[in-house]
Protein backbone atom coordinates (compact mmCIF):
# COMPACT_ATOMS: atom_id res chain seq x y z
CA UNK A 1 0.00 0.00 0.00
CA UNK A 2 1.24 3.48 -0.93
CA UNK A 3 -0.03 6.61 0.78
CA UNK A 4 0.11 9.64 -1.51
CA UNK A 5 -0.32 9.73 -5.29
CA UNK A 6 1.98 12.62 -6.13
CA UNK A 7 4.96 12.30 -8.47
CA UNK A 8 6.75 9.90 -6.13
CA UNK A 9 3.84 7.83 -4.86
CA UNK A 10 2.12 7.41 -8.21
CA UNK A 11 5.23 6.52 -10.21
CA UNK A 12 6.44 4.16 -7.48
CA UNK A 13 3.03 2.47 -7.34
CA UNK A 14 2.79 2.09 -11.10
CA UNK A 15 6.32 0.70 -11.38
CA UNK A 16 5.74 -1.83 -8.58
CA UNK A 17 2.45 -2.87 -10.19
CA UNK A 18 4.23 -3.27 -13.51
CA UNK A 19 6.86 -5.63 -12.09
CA UNK A 20 4.13 -7.85 -10.65
CA UNK A 21 3.03 -6.59 -7.22
CA UNK A 22 -0.54 -5.90 -6.16
CA UNK A 23 -0.66 -2.22 -5.19
CA UNK A 24 -3.22 -0.07 -3.40
CA UNK A 25 -2.68 3.69 -3.55
CA UNK A 26 -4.32 6.08 -1.08
CA UNK A 27 -5.05 9.63 -2.23
CA UNK A 28 -7.14 12.13 -0.23
CA UNK A 29 -7.43 14.72 -2.98
CA UNK A 30 -10.78 13.85 -4.53
CA UNK A 31 -10.13 15.52 -7.87
CA UNK A 32 -6.89 13.60 -8.30
CA UNK A 33 -8.49 10.39 -6.99
CA UNK A 34 -11.38 10.59 -9.45
CA UNK A 35 -8.95 10.94 -12.34
CA UNK A 36 -6.95 7.94 -11.18
CA UNK A 37 -10.06 5.82 -10.74
CA UNK A 38 -11.03 6.67 -14.30
CA UNK A 39 -7.53 5.61 -15.41
CA UNK A 40 -6.46 9.17 -16.20
CA UNK A 41 -3.12 10.59 -15.10
CA UNK A 42 -3.43 13.69 -12.89
CA UNK A 43 0.12 14.79 -13.79
CA UNK A 44 2.07 15.37 -16.98
CA UNK A 45 4.85 12.80 -16.75
CA UNK A 46 6.33 10.62 -19.46
CA UNK A 47 4.83 7.11 -19.57
CA UNK A 48 2.42 7.54 -16.66
CA UNK A 49 -0.78 7.48 -18.71
CA UNK A 50 0.37 4.45 -20.68
CA UNK A 51 1.35 2.58 -17.52
CA UNK A 52 -1.93 3.38 -15.74
CA UNK A 53 -3.78 1.63 -18.54
CA UNK A 54 -1.28 -1.23 -18.74
CA UNK A 55 -1.25 -2.18 -15.02
CA UNK A 56 -4.94 -1.58 -14.24
CA UNK A 57 -5.39 -5.16 -12.98
CA UNK A 58 -2.58 -4.78 -10.44
CA UNK A 59 -3.38 -1.37 -8.97
CA UNK A 60 -6.34 0.22 -7.18
CA UNK A 61 -6.91 3.72 -5.86
CA UNK A 62 -8.65 4.62 -2.60
CA UNK A 63 -9.51 7.72 -0.60
CA UNK A 64 -8.81 6.12 2.79
CA UNK A 65 -6.63 3.24 3.96
CA UNK A 66 -9.51 1.70 5.96
CA UNK A 67 -10.45 -0.97 3.43
CA UNK A 68 -6.96 -2.15 2.54
CA UNK A 69 -4.60 -1.55 5.48
CA UNK A 70 -5.46 -4.77 7.26
CA UNK A 71 -4.41 -6.83 4.22
CA UNK A 72 -1.32 -4.83 3.41
CA UNK A 73 2.16 -6.21 4.11
CA UNK A 74 4.29 -3.23 3.15
CA UNK A 75 3.15 0.38 3.56
CA UNK A 76 5.06 3.11 1.71
CA UNK A 77 4.46 6.72 2.75
CA UNK A 78 5.02 9.18 -0.10
CA UNK A 79 3.13 12.26 1.06
CA UNK A 80 4.41 15.79 0.55
CA UNK A 81 6.63 17.60 3.04
CA UNK A 82 6.35 21.21 1.83
CA UNK A 83 8.40 23.98 3.44
CA UNK A 84 7.00 26.08 6.26
CA UNK A 85 7.52 29.84 6.22
CA UNK A 86 10.80 29.42 8.11
CA UNK A 87 12.07 26.81 5.64
CA UNK A 88 11.57 23.78 7.85
CA UNK A 89 9.84 20.78 6.30
CA UNK A 90 6.15 20.54 7.19
CA UNK A 91 5.61 17.02 8.53
CA UNK A 92 1.88 17.38 9.18
CA UNK A 93 0.91 15.24 6.16
CA UNK A 94 3.32 12.54 7.26
CA UNK A 95 2.03 12.62 10.83
CA UNK A 96 -1.57 12.45 9.60
CA UNK A 97 -0.68 9.43 7.48
CA UNK A 98 0.91 7.68 10.47
CA UNK A 99 -2.17 8.37 12.60
CA UNK A 100 -4.49 7.04 9.89
CA UNK A 101 -2.45 3.85 9.68
CA UNK A 102 -2.34 3.28 13.42
CA UNK A 103 -6.12 3.68 13.70
CA UNK A 104 -6.83 0.90 11.24
CA UNK A 105 -4.02 -1.64 11.45
CA UNK A 106 -4.45 -5.23 12.53
CA UNK A 107 -2.68 -5.19 15.91
CA UNK A 108 -1.74 -8.87 15.63
CA UNK A 109 -0.05 -8.50 12.24
CA UNK A 110 3.49 -7.49 11.26
CA UNK A 111 3.91 -4.57 8.84
CA UNK A 112 6.91 -3.04 7.15
CA UNK A 113 6.52 0.74 6.99
CA UNK A 114 8.81 2.58 4.56
CA UNK A 115 9.04 6.38 4.58
CA UNK A 116 9.75 7.53 1.03
CA UNK A 117 8.83 11.16 1.68
CA UNK A 118 11.79 13.52 1.98
CA UNK A 119 12.01 14.20 5.70
CA UNK A 120 14.42 16.05 8.03
CA UNK A 121 17.26 14.09 9.52
CA UNK A 122 16.04 12.24 12.59
CA UNK A 123 12.40 11.95 11.48
CA UNK A 124 12.46 8.15 11.25
CA UNK A 125 13.62 7.95 14.86
CA UNK A 126 10.77 10.26 15.94
CA UNK A 127 8.22 8.22 14.00
CA UNK A 128 9.60 5.03 15.52
CA UNK A 129 9.04 6.47 19.01
CA UNK A 130 5.46 7.46 18.11
CA UNK A 131 4.74 3.95 16.86
CA UNK A 132 6.28 2.25 19.89
CA UNK A 133 4.33 4.52 22.25
CA UNK A 134 1.11 3.58 20.44
CA UNK A 135 1.79 -0.12 20.97
CA UNK A 136 2.84 0.42 24.59
CA UNK A 137 -0.53 2.01 25.26
CA UNK A 138 -2.12 -1.10 23.80
CA UNK A 139 0.02 -3.26 26.08
CA UNK A 140 1.71 -5.15 23.26
CA UNK A 141 5.06 -5.07 21.49
CA UNK A 142 5.29 -3.06 18.26
CA UNK A 143 4.74 -5.06 15.10
CA UNK A 144 5.63 -2.25 12.71
CA UNK A 145 9.11 -2.53 11.21
CA UNK A 146 10.25 0.91 10.12
CA UNK A 147 12.58 1.88 7.28
CA UNK A 148 13.75 4.98 5.48
CA UNK A 149 13.51 4.45 1.71
CA UNK A 150 14.26 7.78 -0.03
CA UNK A 151 13.52 8.47 -3.69
CA UNK A 152 15.91 9.91 -6.26
CA UNK A 153 13.54 10.68 -9.11
CA UNK A 154 13.81 13.40 -11.73
CA UNK A 155 10.54 14.97 -12.78
CA UNK A 156 10.02 14.25 -16.45
CA UNK A 157 11.99 11.01 -15.99
CA UNK A 158 10.32 9.62 -12.87
CA UNK A 159 9.23 6.24 -14.26
CA UNK A 160 12.57 5.76 -15.97
CA UNK A 161 14.39 6.47 -12.71
CA UNK A 162 12.08 4.12 -10.79
CA UNK A 163 12.57 1.20 -13.16
CA UNK A 164 16.27 1.82 -13.88
CA UNK A 165 17.68 3.46 -10.73
CA UNK A 166 21.34 4.05 -9.91
CA UNK A 167 20.72 2.78 -6.39
CA UNK A 168 18.05 1.78 -3.92
CA UNK A 169 18.65 2.94 -0.36
CA UNK A 170 17.14 1.17 2.65
CA UNK A 171 17.81 2.67 6.05
CA UNK A 172 16.62 0.48 8.89
CA UNK A 173 17.59 -1.29 12.10
CA UNK A 174 15.00 -4.00 11.42
CA UNK A 175 16.10 -7.16 9.65
CA UNK A 176 12.50 -7.84 8.61
CA UNK A 177 12.05 -4.38 7.05
CA UNK A 178 15.30 -4.77 5.12
CA UNK A 179 14.33 -8.26 3.94
CA UNK A 180 10.81 -7.19 2.91
CA UNK A 181 12.00 -4.20 0.93
CA UNK A 182 14.73 -6.22 -0.75
CA UNK A 183 12.07 -8.67 -1.88
CA UNK A 184 9.77 -5.84 -2.98
CA UNK A 185 12.47 -4.31 -5.17
CA UNK A 186 13.96 -7.62 -6.31
CA UNK A 187 12.59 -7.39 -9.89
CA UNK A 188 14.13 -3.93 -10.22
CA UNK A 189 17.38 -4.81 -8.45
CA UNK A 190 17.83 -7.86 -10.69
CA UNK A 191 16.14 -6.33 -13.76
CA UNK A 192 14.03 -9.45 -14.38
CA UNK A 193 11.03 -7.59 -15.82
CA UNK A 194 10.38 -6.92 -19.50
CA UNK A 195 11.03 -3.22 -20.17
CA UNK A 196 7.90 -1.31 -21.24
CA UNK A 197 8.13 -0.29 -24.90
CA UNK A 198 7.51 3.39 -24.08
CA UNK A 199 10.24 3.65 -21.41
CA UNK A 200 13.40 2.43 -23.06
CA UNK A 201 15.99 0.64 -20.98
CA UNK A 202 19.43 2.26 -21.27
CA UNK A 203 21.83 0.44 -23.58
CA UNK A 204 24.63 0.12 -21.06
CA UNK A 205 22.91 -0.40 -17.73
CA UNK A 206 24.56 -1.90 -14.68
CA UNK A 207 22.35 -3.43 -12.01
CA UNK A 208 21.32 -0.92 -9.34
CA UNK A 209 23.35 -0.66 -6.16
CA UNK A 210 21.55 -1.75 -2.99
CA UNK A 211 22.67 0.45 -0.10
CA UNK A 212 21.64 -0.68 3.36
CA UNK A 213 22.32 1.68 6.22
CA UNK A 214 20.83 3.12 9.40
CA UNK A 215 17.78 5.44 9.11
CA UNK A 216 19.67 8.66 9.88
CA UNK A 217 22.31 7.99 7.23
CA UNK A 218 19.57 7.17 4.73
CA UNK A 219 17.84 10.49 5.41
CA UNK A 220 21.17 12.29 5.07
CA UNK A 221 21.89 10.58 1.72
CA UNK A 222 18.74 12.11 0.23
CA UNK A 223 19.52 15.65 1.40
CA UNK A 224 23.22 15.39 0.56
CA UNK A 225 22.46 14.16 -2.98
CA UNK A 226 20.11 17.04 -3.77
CA UNK A 227 22.38 19.60 -2.15
CA UNK A 228 25.35 18.40 -4.18
CA UNK A 229 23.45 18.55 -7.48
CA UNK A 230 22.22 22.04 -6.62
CA UNK A 231 25.80 23.05 -5.79
CA UNK A 232 27.05 21.74 -9.13
CA UNK A 233 24.54 23.80 -11.10
CA UNK A 234 25.21 26.91 -9.05
CA UNK A 235 28.95 26.42 -9.47
CA UNK A 236 28.78 26.37 -13.26
CA UNK A 237 26.47 29.39 -13.20
CA UNK A 238 28.97 31.28 -11.07
CA UNK A 239 31.75 30.38 -13.49
CA UNK A 240 29.47 31.48 -16.36
CA UNK A 241 29.25 34.93 -14.84
CA UNK A 242 33.03 35.12 -14.76
CA UNK A 243 33.20 33.88 -18.37
CA UNK A 244 31.04 36.81 -19.46
CA UNK A 245 33.43 39.23 -17.77
CA UNK A 246 36.55 37.88 -19.50
CA UNK A 247 35.15 36.67 -22.83
CA UNK A 248 35.40 32.90 -22.25
CA UNK A 249 32.80 30.40 -23.50
CA UNK A 250 31.07 28.49 -20.69
CA UNK A 251 30.13 25.65 -23.06
CA UNK A 252 33.80 24.98 -23.73
CA UNK A 253 34.70 25.42 -20.07
CA UNK A 254 32.01 22.96 -18.97
CA UNK A 255 33.15 20.40 -21.51
CA UNK A 256 36.75 20.93 -20.49
CA UNK A 257 36.11 20.24 -16.82
CA UNK A 258 33.25 17.76 -17.28
CA UNK A 259 35.37 15.26 -19.18
CA UNK A 260 37.41 14.87 -16.01
CA UNK A 261 36.04 11.62 -14.55
CA UNK A 262 36.28 13.07 -11.06
CA UNK A 263 33.84 15.83 -12.04
CA UNK A 264 31.56 14.51 -14.79
CA UNK A 265 29.58 16.49 -17.36
CA UNK A 266 26.10 16.08 -15.83
CA UNK A 267 24.56 19.17 -14.22
CA UNK A 268 27.15 21.48 -15.76
CA UNK A 269 24.71 23.31 -18.03
CA UNK A 270 24.84 27.03 -17.28
CA UNK A 271 21.54 28.86 -17.34
CA UNK A 272 18.95 30.64 -15.24
CA UNK A 273 19.23 28.20 -12.35
CA UNK A 274 17.40 25.35 -10.70
CA UNK A 275 13.84 25.17 -9.43
CA UNK A 276 11.21 22.51 -8.88
CA UNK A 277 9.88 20.70 -5.87
CA UNK A 278 13.17 19.30 -4.54
CA UNK A 279 16.31 21.44 -4.77
CA UNK A 280 14.86 24.69 -3.36
CA UNK A 281 12.92 22.93 -0.60
CA UNK A 282 15.61 20.45 0.38
CA UNK A 283 18.54 22.86 0.45
CA UNK A 284 16.51 25.23 2.62
CA UNK A 285 15.39 22.43 4.93
CA UNK A 286 18.99 21.23 5.26
CA UNK A 287 20.15 24.72 6.20
CA UNK A 288 17.36 25.08 8.77
CA UNK A 289 18.16 21.71 10.29
CA UNK A 290 21.86 22.56 10.47
CA UNK A 291 21.01 25.89 12.09
CA UNK A 292 18.94 24.14 14.75
CA UNK A 293 21.88 21.99 15.80
CA UNK A 294 24.38 24.86 15.60
CA UNK A 295 26.18 23.87 12.41
CA UNK A 296 27.04 26.39 9.68
CA UNK A 297 26.80 25.35 5.99
CA UNK A 298 28.13 28.30 3.95
CA UNK A 299 28.55 26.31 0.72
CA UNK A 300 24.90 25.26 0.52
CA UNK A 301 23.85 28.77 1.49
CA UNK A 302 26.01 30.23 -1.28
CA UNK A 303 24.51 27.82 -3.81
CA UNK A 304 21.06 29.21 -3.06
CA UNK A 305 22.33 32.79 -3.34
CA UNK A 306 23.99 32.12 -6.71
CA UNK A 307 20.81 30.44 -7.93
CA UNK A 308 18.75 33.54 -7.27
CA UNK A 309 21.43 35.70 -8.87
CA UNK A 310 21.10 33.67 -12.09
CA UNK A 311 17.52 34.87 -12.48
CA UNK A 312 18.43 38.50 -11.84
CA UNK A 313 21.22 38.24 -14.42
CA UNK A 314 18.59 37.85 -17.16
CA UNK A 315 16.93 41.09 -16.10
CA UNK A 316 20.32 42.79 -16.01
CA UNK A 317 20.88 41.77 -19.65
CA UNK A 318 17.58 43.34 -20.62
CA UNK A 319 18.43 46.53 -18.76
CA UNK A 320 21.85 46.67 -20.40
CA UNK A 321 20.07 46.66 -23.75
CA UNK A 322 17.03 48.81 -22.94
CA UNK A 323 17.69 50.62 -19.67
CA UNK A 324 14.16 51.21 -18.44
CA UNK A 325 11.81 48.24 -18.89
CA UNK A 326 8.59 50.15 -18.29
CA UNK A 327 6.05 49.56 -21.07
CA UNK A 328 8.34 47.05 -22.78
CA UNK A 329 6.71 43.75 -23.76
CA UNK A 330 8.77 40.63 -23.10
CA UNK A 331 8.01 37.07 -24.23
CA UNK A 332 9.02 34.33 -21.79
CA UNK A 333 9.25 31.00 -23.62
CA UNK A 334 8.89 28.14 -21.16
CA UNK A 335 7.18 28.23 -17.77
CA UNK A 336 7.72 24.73 -16.33
CA UNK A 337 10.84 24.54 -14.18
CA UNK A 338 12.23 21.93 -16.59
CA UNK A 339 11.08 20.15 -19.77
CA UNK A 340 8.93 17.02 -19.56
CA UNK A 341 6.71 18.23 -16.71
CA UNK A 342 3.91 20.69 -16.07
CA UNK A 343 5.35 21.50 -12.64
CA UNK A 344 6.00 25.23 -12.10
CA UNK A 345 7.00 25.08 -8.44
CA UNK A 346 9.98 27.42 -7.85
CA UNK A 347 10.29 27.81 -11.63
CA UNK A 348 13.01 30.30 -12.62
CA UNK A 349 10.71 31.49 -15.42
CA UNK A 350 8.01 32.52 -12.96
CA UNK A 351 10.54 34.40 -10.84
CA UNK A 352 11.70 36.25 -13.96
CA UNK A 353 8.10 37.09 -14.86
CA UNK A 354 7.47 38.51 -11.39
CA UNK A 355 10.57 40.71 -11.65
CA UNK A 356 9.54 41.90 -15.12
CA UNK A 357 6.08 42.84 -13.87
CA UNK A 358 7.60 44.70 -10.92
CA UNK A 359 9.81 46.60 -13.37
CA UNK A 360 6.69 47.76 -15.22
CA UNK A 361 7.02 45.46 -18.24
CA UNK A 362 4.26 43.51 -19.93
CA UNK A 363 4.71 39.76 -20.37
CA UNK A 364 3.62 37.22 -22.95
CA UNK A 365 4.17 33.82 -21.34
CA UNK A 366 4.34 30.61 -23.36
CA UNK A 367 4.56 26.89 -22.54
CA UNK A 368 3.33 23.74 -24.34
CA UNK A 369 1.89 22.01 -21.23
CA UNK A 370 2.25 24.09 -18.05
CA UNK A 371 -0.13 27.00 -18.71
CA UNK A 372 -2.82 25.98 -16.22
CA UNK A 373 -0.37 25.53 -13.35
CA UNK A 374 1.40 28.76 -14.29
CA UNK A 375 -1.88 30.71 -14.29
CA UNK A 376 -2.68 29.38 -10.82
CA UNK A 377 0.78 30.28 -9.55
CA UNK A 378 0.90 33.79 -11.03
CA UNK A 379 -2.73 34.76 -10.55
CA UNK A 380 -4.74 37.27 -12.52
CA UNK A 381 -2.71 40.18 -13.89
CA UNK A 382 -3.78 42.39 -16.78
CA UNK A 383 -0.14 42.79 -17.84
CA UNK A 384 0.37 39.12 -18.68
CA UNK A 385 -1.06 36.97 -21.47
CA UNK A 386 -0.56 33.25 -21.98
CA UNK A 387 0.16 31.23 -25.12
CA UNK A 388 1.05 27.69 -26.16
CA UNK A 389 2.44 28.73 -29.56
CA UNK A 390 5.81 30.53 -29.43
CA UNK A 391 5.23 32.35 -32.72
CA UNK A 392 2.01 33.84 -31.35
CA UNK A 393 3.72 34.69 -28.06
CA UNK A 394 6.44 36.82 -29.70
CA UNK A 395 4.07 38.90 -31.82
CA UNK A 396 5.10 42.54 -31.32
CA UNK A 397 7.43 41.95 -28.35
CA UNK A 398 10.60 43.85 -27.56
CA UNK A 399 12.57 40.75 -26.49
CA UNK A 400 12.21 37.01 -26.00
CA UNK A 401 13.63 35.09 -23.04
CA UNK A 402 14.05 31.37 -23.58
CA UNK A 403 13.54 29.81 -20.14
CA UNK A 404 12.70 26.09 -20.53
CA UNK A 405 14.46 23.83 -23.03
CA UNK A 406 11.43 22.00 -24.38
CA UNK A 407 12.55 19.54 -27.10
CA UNK A 408 9.46 20.61 -29.07
CA UNK A 409 11.18 23.95 -29.55
CA UNK A 410 14.56 22.60 -30.63
CA UNK A 411 13.95 23.59 -34.26
CA UNK A 412 12.35 27.01 -33.92
CA UNK A 413 12.22 28.97 -37.17
CA UNK A 414 14.18 32.03 -36.10
CA UNK A 415 13.50 33.89 -39.34
CA UNK A 416 9.77 33.51 -38.70
CA UNK A 417 10.28 34.41 -35.05
CA UNK A 418 12.22 37.55 -35.96
CA UNK A 419 9.57 38.66 -38.46
CA UNK A 420 6.97 38.85 -35.69
CA UNK A 421 9.00 40.73 -33.07
CA UNK A 422 9.26 44.49 -32.70
CA UNK A 423 12.89 44.27 -31.58
CA UNK A 424 15.08 41.27 -32.32
CA UNK A 425 16.60 40.59 -28.93
CA UNK A 426 16.83 36.91 -27.93
CA UNK A 427 18.08 35.91 -24.47
CA UNK A 428 18.86 32.20 -24.39
CA UNK A 429 18.52 31.40 -20.69
CA UNK A 430 19.44 27.76 -21.23
CA UNK A 431 22.21 28.04 -23.86
CA UNK A 432 19.94 25.81 -25.93
CA UNK A 433 20.69 27.26 -29.35
CA UNK A 434 23.80 27.93 -31.36
CA UNK A 435 24.41 31.70 -31.22
CA UNK A 436 25.37 31.96 -34.89
CA UNK A 437 22.14 30.30 -35.99
CA UNK A 438 20.12 32.85 -34.02
CA UNK A 439 22.23 35.78 -35.21
CA UNK A 440 21.77 34.80 -38.87
CA UNK A 441 18.07 35.57 -38.46
CA UNK A 442 18.98 39.13 -37.46
CA UNK A 443 18.81 38.72 -33.69
CA UNK A 444 20.99 40.20 -31.01
CA UNK A 445 21.81 37.01 -29.10
CA UNK A 446 22.59 36.88 -25.38
CA UNK A 447 23.35 33.56 -23.70
CA UNK A 448 24.66 32.66 -20.26
CA UNK A 449 28.42 32.71 -19.98
CA UNK A 450 29.09 33.07 -23.70
Q: Which candidate in 5, 278, 330, 448 is catalytic?
A: 278
Q: Quick check: is 366 catalytic?
A: no
CA atoms within 13 A on the CB side of 393: 25
Q: How far apart are CA 291 and CA 96, in angstroms?
A: 26
The DSSP secondary structure of 348-383, one letter per residue, reads HHHHHHHHHHHTT-EEEEE-SS-HHHHHHHH---TT
Q: How far apart are CA 408 and CA 426, in angstroms?
A: 18
CA distances from 188 to 17, 52, 321 (A): 12, 18, 53
Q: How far apart are CA 60 and CA 23, in angstroms?
A: 6
Bridge-partner residues for 446, per DSSP?
A: 427
Q: Residue 228's CB: how many other CB atoms inside 10 A?
A: 13
DSSP state of 274: -
* Helices 215-246 and 298-322: angle between axes, nearest 10 degrees: 30
Q: Counting beta carbons within 10 angstroms of the beta carbon of residue 191, is it exposed (0 to 12), middle (13 to 18) or buried (19 or more)?
A: middle
Q: Residue 276's CB: how many other CB atoms inside 10 A?
A: 22
Q: Counting beta carbons within 10 angstroms of the beta carbon of residue 54, is it exposed (0 to 12), middle (13 to 18) or buried (19 or more)?
A: middle
Bridge-partner residues for 226, per DSSP?
A: none
Residue 209 sits at φ, ψ, to 5 deg, of -75, 140
Q: What is the CA radius of gyration of the chain?
A: 24
330: enclosing H helix or E strand: strand 329-333
Q: Residue 23's CB: how many other CB atoms inside 10 A?
A: 22
Positions marked catalytic: 278
Amino acid sequence: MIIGAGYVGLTTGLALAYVGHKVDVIEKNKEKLNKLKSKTSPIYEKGVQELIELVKDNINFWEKPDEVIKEAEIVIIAVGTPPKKNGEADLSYLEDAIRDILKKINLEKDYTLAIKSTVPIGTNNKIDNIIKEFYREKGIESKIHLASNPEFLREGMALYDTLYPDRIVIGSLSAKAISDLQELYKPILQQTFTPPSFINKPNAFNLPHLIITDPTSSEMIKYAANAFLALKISFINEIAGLCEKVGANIKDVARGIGTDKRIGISFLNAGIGWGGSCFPKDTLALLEFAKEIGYNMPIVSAAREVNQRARKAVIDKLKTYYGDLREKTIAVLGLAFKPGTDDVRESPALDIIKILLNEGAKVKACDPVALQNAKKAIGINEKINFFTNPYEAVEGVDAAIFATEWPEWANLDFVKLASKMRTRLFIDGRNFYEPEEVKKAGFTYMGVGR
